[in-house]
């Protein structure tokens, strides 16, 4: 039975069909945070995005795609997200044991452009045949290729919604029009979250915002309207506000964490700011399983407290 | 029962099916101006187009997508227009309470090109499933990407008409071939309105034209034929003429208004020139609700007088 | 009952279905030249191609799309051709009164490239729902975008023929590979007419050719074979020859006429050279209706004599 | 009844359906060379490719599309090949009298790029409705646009084979990566023939190869392996070898012949080298009919001897 | 009856349908290595990729497409892979005698770009009608055209899996972002294998990796984590690890072998490192048949020992 909080969250998605709500509920109800309205998701697309050795050499069991299903399951995560091959390689063995998010576009760094365009590597039909609860899609607002991405997302999201899947959008500003600092600037991050929500995402994933303000026209408004941006919790709160005033699930990936303690402080700030959770990849699978379970357990306990 | 004026307007659309006429009638019959043949529409795509903080920080309730449905409804507007996410987030709560226009393409300024191409962010099928009366589409005549836009519009408009929806076209000249002043030049504005009508728009939206004339070949004609362009009312009248001699609904967005009084004067000029109404976004939702209702009420009363 | 001449012309189109022949017959049988095998067509796409004020300010009733249906009808033209919006705005009022040609691609000059690509602005399905007898399509041989145009034409023509419509192709050489004089050079004009016929056009429209020869390889042949090119009638005859030796209907648009008398002389030359008629836009609707009717009447009487 | 040689040739096409074999047999069985396994084909796409006056002014009856059907028929050619318009203009009059090859892509020289891409000007559906036995397609190996061509060919060939048509590929190396001499170099010519066969062509058409070797890596092999290339017959033999060791029909177009005698010597060399025949356009229709019939008769008699 | 090893391998493909498993089993069960879980495949696309003379002049029987079917069959290979034309030319004669892999994209070197894009030359429907067990597809990670390739692969692989075919991916890093040495660098090779597996390949083919490390970010990890890379067997083992920890079949093409002995040593290293086999083209068909059979026999015996 859905908790009142889950019911409340589902009520925000009044234009979706019961199939999509069912899959959103699956994501919200699975794992140790089930029913709380908070989510911790394990994503493992780093093999594709950065290369296998950079991703798994530090903890070689991670080369095996089944490892990550198991890690997400044992840690009590809400869901596990990965590209086609990794999902195909474990979906039968773990059928029905943990909600899956099929990451349908991917980018590799054997060529790393300033204005990247990920490749479509799978699709809604794959998500359905593999028993996934959602598709995942990355957009790079700021890239000169963004129009193509938005339109690919539109097509995939339309099909996903018709077929009762949820849509998770990674919104990562990048491109020749943005400075490096601008990629995590608060104004840019909030804008990126808003774009993802306008494009119809059910769940939006962004990076933790810094207190940098990138665009001059935006900076003037933040200063004039005295938008609080000093603390991380305030910035999270602002991003949540930018995402339909909190009526869309928005979760965060880690910043350049220097220590576990920093991560836990960030998670605490996300929680305080009203963020819905975390998506934690490398920090999880790039340590031995026992440590990973402890680490994820601690994060989950912060959200669940 | 349709008023004689509404019947007259509908008579101009002799090639459309009864479904589309029904939705045009809905737009013309809703709100305080219902039946007068005039329209005031609330558009809220600025979150996507300029960023959420630049749009809503000044009046934070605007971060919530439901706010704008309510504002349009209470103000007695004819319709509310927004991108997919904003419409999805309120369509069930406000089902049937106000005609909706789904803005199916959008442009953001995390990258701002000289010759922009908006992304297709939703479509006719979305408009139908969300109960909308019309689709909205932006073209940028003058952009080197215009051929793509015109063809996207053609496809969407064909489908919309087949499915009984109305088509609203935002026609905003832009691009490396035009000077900044040229974007609102009278010749360019009239040309942009004409193109939108030729592309099959039922309702055309343009910016208020200045008395600048951009293209040399056009300037000669305006001068030779002594087209009156001195007053704003005369220029509005000319744009209406350019739009099939007034047999297509053409509405105007505000110029760079310095004060409410200026806006009211502009609205008066639109009315005098035979324009069909206004589409007013930022000037409405970027003030507190009470003030917004007063402001929109005043505009509506000018049109309704 | 078709005249012997109309029967003869139809006999050239042995690969077309009876539906297309019926629409070709409609074009050949309508108006004052009905049954003669000659055609005078009124085209009004200048609003899109040059802008509304440049097109209609000199004779403001022309801003109204119904004006041109009426002008073509009263003048006894064979057909009226225009883009989607202009046709939609009058097709019900004038249903069945005059054969219509839907101009399905268009180009505007808010941006005027050296190698232009018109936009597809409507299609065969529109022509069918609007009761048109034919589609019209512009190609710019010589443009670096011509491959796209030819392929768009191929798709539209295939569909038109399957659905019993006729295909009229405006073949206007343009592009960075041609000199200004080359655009109307005899060799280029004949080549352009031939390409249109090879692409499957039923009716080809070209500009009146000058005695300039643009391409060196062609010039040698004209000189060696002593192709007569001195008089306009000779050049028209050559273009007719280039268009399957006269077994495709080829009509001409006016050159830069300095006076009505010049136009009449050109029409006389077209008639003498075996051309099938004229397509006359600006010279018709850019004068008062009474004068236009007289002017068109004179042209028709030359062809009909 | 098929001759043993025709049966042998058909046996090479073990992956084709009986419909395609039937049309291959039609090509092999028609005309004076019927049953010999040799072919002489009349192609007339020069009007499109070079312009009508350059093609037909020297023998004006050639402006009429019916002329070429008649010429091919009277000369006893195996087939007649032309673009859409020329085929449409005679297909009913000559229905069933001579096998037709619809040339479905074409290139004109009003703009002549270094790396050309022909336009798709018709398709398999046209070939079927016009009663053709085969489609013809030009590829330009070496052009930077070749990927598009190969993929267009793949789509057309797949459809042709499904519908029982034969596929004839003109393989003409061109492009900025090749020297002028390289376009007819033996290594390049053999490579081009091989590519066409790998792409699934039933009949491959190449230019007569010179003894030039263009690519360094290839030259080394020809020298090391002592491939005989001195005489034209040897070079033809090599090209036949490159085309699946003679298990695909490969025919040749004329080189820059200086006299009829030279052509006859070339034809003799093709015959000696095991080539399957010739495709002869300009040399045929650019002389008076009587001379053309004599000329083609002589060529046919060489092949048939 | 499948051997335990074949059963084990098939168990890794839990998301595939029985049709695809059947075809994987056919590949694993055919030839002298049938049932061992090892594969030796004969690929002959060099005619297309390098030209026919460079490929076959040294052993002229290889010009005949049937030669290679016979060679693969007699040598006891697991499968034969080739482009459309070569497969079409022998599929009926050798129907059911040896598993076929249709290589559906190809690249030629008449134009050789720094960032190549192969052409799609056939498809899944062809593989089905020709009785093939699998499609083969080349990707060039590192090429600026890779997004197109990945997406073409995705479409083809989806269709192949729906129709019960297996998918073999040639993953060859190339492009302006990689040094020549980088194309076979261990980090790049492992990355390329991983990408292919993530894209859904059942069998991955890569080149033998050198001990070069190309990407700085990767090099640091290899050094920090002390990944063993000194011997070829260690490097093969690492690539196998990168390919889902050995749960995808990964096979190797020869390096620039200086002698047969070197090849045998490489094969021994592949076997020691846990590689699944070899794909050997030029080294096989570029020698006389008897020698080729001996050479392949020796390789097979190493794998089978």
* Closest partner CB to A142 (pick from B92, B106, B111): B111
For an interface test with E, the pick among D15, D209, D212 (most E C-beta atoms closer than 10 Å) comes out as D15
Contact present, D214 and D261 (Cβ < 8 Å): no
For D150, residues 6+ apart whose C-beta sits below 8 A from its C-beta are D139, D195, D199, E119, E120, E121
- Chain B residue numbers with beta carbons less than 8 Å from the beta carbon of C51 are 187, 190-191, 194, 215, 218
Please state the rounded mean pLDDT for residues C15-26: 98
How many angstroms separate the CA atoms of A222 and A220, rounded? 6
Contact D65 C241 (CB under 8 A): no
The residue whose two tokens read 């605007």 is: B62
The minimum CA-CA distance between D174 and chain C, rounded to whole Å, is: 18
Contact D119 C150 (CB under 8 A): yes
How many angstroms separate the CA atoms of E198 and B156, rounded? 36
Contact present, D84 and D283 (Cβ < 8 Å): no
**Out of A7, A32, A103, A205, which one is annotated catalytic?**
A205
Predicted confidence (pLDDT) per residue in E138-174, tens digit? 999 999 999 999 999 999 999 999 999 999 999 999 9
What one-character-per-residue DSSP string does E181-246 give? GGGG-HHHHHHHHHHHHHTT-SEEEEEPP-S----HHHHHHHHHTT---SSHHHHHHHHHHHTGGG
How many angstroms separate the CA atoms of B71 and B286, rounded? 12
Q: What angle do CA D182, D187, D188 make, to 5 degrees?
A: 50
Phi-psi region of A89 (alpha: psi -120 to 50; beta: other; left: phi over 0): alpha
The minimum CA-CA distance between D91 and chain C, rounded to whole Å, is: 7
Predicted confidence (pLDDT) per residue in E220-239, tens digit? 999 999 999 999 999 999 99
Please state the rounded mean pLDDT for residues D207-215: 97
- Chain E residue numbers with beta carbons less than 8 Å from the beta carbon of A43 are none
* Closest partner CB to C15 (pick from D57, D58, D88): D88
Query: Which two tokens mark B298?
Result: 């005043």
How many interchain CB pairs under 8 A, B with C? 133
The minimum CA-CA distance between C126 and chain D, rounded to whole Å, is: 22
* Closest partner CB to E110 (pick from D141, D221, D222): D141
Predicted confidence (pLDDT) per residue in B144-184, tens digit? 999 999 999 999 999 999 999 999 999 999 999 999 999 99
Q: Strands (DSSP E) along chain E, which ranges?
A: 39-43, 79-82, 100-103, 105-106, 119-120, 134-139, 166-171, 203-207, 249-253, 277-279
* Closest partner CB to A15 (pick from B52, B92, B117): B92
Counting Cα atoms < 13 Å in the Cβ hemisphere of C145 gives: 17
The residues of D assigned a catalytic role are: 205
Whether pLDDT at C257 is above 90: no
Burial of D155 (0-12, 13-18, 19+ CB in 10 A): middle
Whether pLDDT at C256 is above 70: no
Contact present, E254 and E266 (Cβ < 8 Å): yes
The minimum CA-CA distance between A107 and chain E, rounded to whole Å, is: 9
Q: What is the pLDDT of residue E275?
A: 98
DSSP 3-state assignment of B121? coil
Say how many Å lie between the first and final Cα of chain B, rounded: 21
Contact C54 B221 (CB under 8 A): yes
Whether pLDDT at E254 is above 80: no
Query: Which two tokens mark D203?
Result: 């009949």
The number of residues making up chain A comes to 305
b/e map B198-217, b = 16+ CB within 10 Å: bbbbbbbbbbbbbebbbbee
Chains contacting B with at least 3 CB pairs below 8 Å? A, C
The minimum CA-CA distance between D110 and chain C, rounded to whole Å, is: 5
How many angstroms separate the CA atoms of E297 and E264, rounded? 11
The residues of E assigned a catalytic role are: 205
* Closest partner CB to C111 (pick from B177, B247, B248): B177
Contact E221 A54 (CB under 8 A): yes
Whether pLDDT at E252 is above 90: yes
Q: Which residue of A has its CA nearest to E143?
A: A111
- Chain A residue numbers with beta carbons less than 8 Å from the beta carbon of E202 are none
Per-residue confidence at C258, pLDDT binned at 50, 70, 90? confident
Contact B85 A146 (CB under 8 A): no
The minimum CA-CA distance between B20 and chain C, rounded to whole Å, is: 14
User: What is the phi/psi pair of residue E96, to 5°?
Assistant: 80, 0
DSSP state of E249: E
Q: What is the pLDDT of residue D257?
A: 61
Per-residue confidence at B254, pLDDT binned at 50, 70, 90? confident
Q: How many CB atoms lie within 10 A of CB B142?
A: 25
Chains contacting E with at least 3 CB pairs below 8 Å? A, D
For an interface test with D, the pick among C15, C152, C246 (most D C-beta atoms closer than 10 Å) comes out as C15
DSSP H or E run through B79: strand B79-82
Predicted confidence (pLDDT) per residue in B234-249, tens digit? 999 999 999 999 999 9
Q: What is the pLDDT of residue C1?
A: 87
User: Which of D117, D292, D196, B52 has the alpha carbon at shortest distance from A217?
Assistant: B52
- Chain A residue numbers with beta carbons less than 8 Å from the beta carbon of B130 are 15
Contact present, D48 and D108 (Cβ < 8 Å): yes
Burial of E216 (0-12, 13-18, 19+ CB in 10 A): exposed
Q: What is the pLDDT of residue A95?
A: 96
How many angstroms separate the CA atoms of E227 and E122, rounded? 40
Per-residue confidence at E257, pLDDT binned at 50, 70, 90? low
Q: What is the pLDDT of residue B248?
A: 98
Pairing verdict, β E105-106 and E79-82: unpaired
Contact present, B25 and B37 (Cβ < 8 Å): no
How many angstroms separate the CA atoms of E103 and E274, rounded? 26
For B123, residues 6+ apart whose C-beta sits below 8 A from its C-beta are A154, A158, B104, B135, B156, B159
Q: What is the pLDDT of residue E258?
A: 73
User: Which of C279, C120, C140, C277 has the alpha carbon at shortest distance from C196?
Assistant: C140
How many angstroms separate the CA atoms of A163 and A166, rounded? 9
- Chain C residue numbers with beta carbons less than 8 Å from the beta carbon of D65 are 244-245, 247
Q: From the CB coordinates, do chains C and E have 3 or more pairs under 8 Å?
A: no
Contact present, E72 and D235 (Cβ < 8 Å): no
User: Which of C245, E16, B253, D109 has the alpha carbon at shortest distance from A91?
Assistant: E16
How many angstroms separate the CA atoms of C16 and C160, rounded? 11
What one-character-per-residue DSSP string does chain A give? ---HHHHHHHHT-TTS-HHHHHHHHHHHHSSTTTTTT-EEEEE--HHHHH-HHHHHTTSGGGGSHHHHHHHHHHHT-SEEEE-HHHHHTTTTTTTTTS-EEEE-EE--SSS--SS--PEE---HHHHHHTT-SEEEEEE-TTSTTHHHHHHHHHHHHHHHHHTT-EEEEEE---STTS-TGGGG-HHHHHHHHHHHHHTT-SEEEEEPP-S----HHHHHHHHHTT---SSHHHHHHHHHHHTGGGTSEEEEE--S-SSHHHHHHHHHHHHHHT--EEE--HHHHTS-HHHHHHHHHHHHHHHH-
Query: Which two tokens mark E20?
Result: 């695809």
The minimum CA-CA distance between C95 and chain B, rounded to whole Å, is: 10
How many angstroms separate the CA atoms of C247 and D88, rounded? 11
User: Which of D161, D95, D103 has the alpha carbon at shortest distance from D137?
Assistant: D103
Burial of B98 (0-12, 13-18, 19+ CB in 10 A): buried
Predicted confidence (pLDDT) per residue in C202-215, tens digit? 999 999 999 999 99
Counting Cα atoms < 13 Å in the Cβ hemisphere of D31 gives: 34
Query: Which two tokens mark B97?
Result: 């309470």
- Chain E residue numbers with beta carbons less than 8 Å from the beta carbon of A52 are 190-191, 194, 241-242
Please say whether the dihedral angle defined by the alpha carbons of residues A184, A187, A188 and A191, taken in this order, is positive or negative: positive
Say whether C298 is catalytic. Answer: no
Query: Which two tokens mark A242?
Result: 């930018």
Query: Which two tokens mark E181?
Result: 């040495």
Mean pLDDT of chain B: 97
- Chain E residue numbers with beta carbons less than 8 Å from the beta carbon of D224 are 58
Please state the rounded mean pLDDT for residues D236-241: 98
Contact present, B121 and A150 (Cβ < 8 Å): yes
Contact present, C207 and C192 (Cβ < 8 Å): no
Phi-psi region of A80 (alpha: psi -120 to 50; beta: other; left: phi over 0): beta
Chains contacting C with at least 3 CB pairs below 8 Å? B, D
Contact present, C152 and C13 (Cβ < 8 Å): no
Contact B53 A190 (CB under 8 A): yes
Contact D227 E106 (CB under 8 A): no
pLDDT per 10-residue tile (average), chain A, 305 residues: 97 98 98 98 97 97 98 98 98 97 97 94 98 98 97 98 98 96 98 98 97 97 97 98 98 80 96 97 95 98 95
Average the pLDDT over each of C247-261, C275-289, D99-113, D174-188 and give the range with the smallest value: C247-261
Contact A218 B111 (CB under 8 A): no
* Closest partner CB to A53 (pick from E150, E198, E222): E222
- Chain E residue numbers with beta carbons less than 8 Å from the beta carbon of A129 are 15
Q: Strands (DSSP E) along chain D, which ranges?
A: 39-43, 79-82, 100-103, 105-106, 119-120, 134-139, 166-171, 203-207, 249-253, 277-279
How many angstroms separate the CA atoms of E274 and E265, rounded? 14
Contact B215 C51 (CB under 8 A): yes
* Closest partner CB to A242 (pick from B53, B89, B92): B53
Whether pLDDT at E27 is above 90: yes
- For the entire predicted model, the pTM comes to 0.96
How many angstroms separate the CA atoms of D279 and D103, rounded? 13
The minimum CA-CA distance between E86 and chain D, rounded to whole Å, is: 6
* Closest partner CB to D154 (pick from E86, E122, E129): E122
Q: Which residue of A has its CA nearest to E218?
A: A54
Contact present, C152 and C124 (Cβ < 8 Å): no
- Chain D residue numbers with beta carbons less than 8 Å from the beta carbon of C190 are 51-53
For C248, residues 6+ apart whose C-beta sits below 8 A from its C-beta are C12, C197, C201, C202, C203, C204, D85, D89
Contact B53 A201 (CB under 8 A): no
- Chain A residue numbers with beta carbons less than 8 Å from the beta carbon of B65 are 244-245, 247
Contact E53 D222 (CB under 8 A): yes
Q: What is the pLDDT of residue E39?
A: 98
How many angstroms separate the CA atoms of B92 and C6, rounded? 61
């Amino acid at each position: 039975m859905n908790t009142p909080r889950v019911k409340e969250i589902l009520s925000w998605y009044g234009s979706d069909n019961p199939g999509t709500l069912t899959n959103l509920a699956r994501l919200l109800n699975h794992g140790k945070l089930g029913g709380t309205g908070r989510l911790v998701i394990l994503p493992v697309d780093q093999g594709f995005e950065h290369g296998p050795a950079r991703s798994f050499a530090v903890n070689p069991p991670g080369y095996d795609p089944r490892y990550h299903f198991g890690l997400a399951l044992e840690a009590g995560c809400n869901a596990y997200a990965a590209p086609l091959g990794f999902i195909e390689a474990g979906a039968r063995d773990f059928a029905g044991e943990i909600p899956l998010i099929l990451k349908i576009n991917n980018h590799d760094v054997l060529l790393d452009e300033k204005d990247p365009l990920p490749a479509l590597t799978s699709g809604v039909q794959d998500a359905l045949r593999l028993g996934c609860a959602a598709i995942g899609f990355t957009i790079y607002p700021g890239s000169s290729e963004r129009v193509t991405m938005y339109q690919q997302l539109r097509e995939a999201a339309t099909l996903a919604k018709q077929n009762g899947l949820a849509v998770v959008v990674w919104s990562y500003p990048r491109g020749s029009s943005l400075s490096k600092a601008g990629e995590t600037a608060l104004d840019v991050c909030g804008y990126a979250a808003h774009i993802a929500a306008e494009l119809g995402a059910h769940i939006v994933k962004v990076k933790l915002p810094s207190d940098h303000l990138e665009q001059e026209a935006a900076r003037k408004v933040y200063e004039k309207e005295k938008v609080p941006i000093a603390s991380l919790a305030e910035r999270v709160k602002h991003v949540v506000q930018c995402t339909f005033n909190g009526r869309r699930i928005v979760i965060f990936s880690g910043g350049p964490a220097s220590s576990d303690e920093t991560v836990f402080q960030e998670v605490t700030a996300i929680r305080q700011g009203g963020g819905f959770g975390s998506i934690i990849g490398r920090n999880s699978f790039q340590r031995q399983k026992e440590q990973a379970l402890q680490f994820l357990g601690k994060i989950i306990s912060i959200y669940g407290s």
